[in-house]
Amino acid sequence: MIGHMPRDVAATSRVRPGSRRPGRPRDARADDVIREAAAAVLAECGPGGFTVDAVAAKAGVGKATIYRRWSSRAELLLETVHLATPDIEDPDTGSLREDLIQLTTGMMFKMRDSAAGRMLPAVMAEAAVHPEMRETLTRFVQHRRSRAIQAVLRGIERGELRPDTNPELVVDLLAGPVFVRTMLSHQPIDESVVEAAVDAILAGAG
């Protein structure tokens, strides 16, 4: 069982307003440096190559500096995945086509170019084996999906789609080309593919 983020207790629990703990304070920058290094290592080496030593070397810190903040490799891995997937805001442009293009294009760029996207295969593999990582991944995906589903629902309300349209199916169809090309067939993908996918789907349900 991996602990549920009970990290950094010493740094937060004993802090009373006005009084500080003795000793050298922690370097606040180290947290971000470590997190960025962890994301880079996971993206470059996969889950098998995600070692604490590698993260420490890439971050330029000692291992103790990592273990002072995270209790184990598993916890660092989980938080790395948690934080590497920041939200994209709901575009809500008034046009369903534009909303879907923006959402899907944003996902495409994330998966194709960002460290978060490059670490997704590793996360999926971990999720297939470890329930906690699976929960993390599922929650994140559901959150992202709900964004797109709401855009589709707005399109239905505006009459841009037939009222019997299944929003979940539309979203899953849209994710297909991005997902398949970046992770399976390793074929090139860009905005034009996304636009073609959106238009193909809207042509059927519009």
Partner DNA sequence: TGATTTCACTACGGTCACGTATCGAAACTA
Partner DNA sequence: TAGTTTCGATACGTGACCGTAGTGAAATCA
Report the interface residues with DNA, using CB under 7 A: 10-11, 19-27, 30, 49-54, 60-65, 67-68, 72-74
Dist CA 126 CA 10 (whole Å): 30
Complex with DNA: residue 10 or 128, whichever CB lies closer:
10
For residue 123, CA distances in Å to 63, 101, 109, 132 come to 23, 26, 18, 11
Q: Between 96 and 135, how does the x/- string for binding to a copy of itself read (CB under 8 A)?
A: ----------------------x--xx-xxxxxx----x-
Complex with a copy of itself: residue 49 or 62, whichever CB lies closer:
49
- According to DSSP, residue 60 is labeled T
Residue with the two structure tokens 């670490």: 119
- Of 145, 150, 156, 160, the one binding a copy of itself (CB under 8 A) is 145
Tell me if 66 sits within 8 A of 52, measured CB to CB: yes
Dist CA 96 CA 51 (whole Å): 44
Structure tokens at 62: 């000692």
185 interacts with a copy of itself by CB under 8 A: yes
Q: Which residues bind a copy of itself (CB under 8 A)?
A: 44-49, 118, 121-122, 124-129, 134, 137-138, 141-142, 145, 166, 169-170, 172-177, 179-181, 183-186, 193, 196-197, 200-205
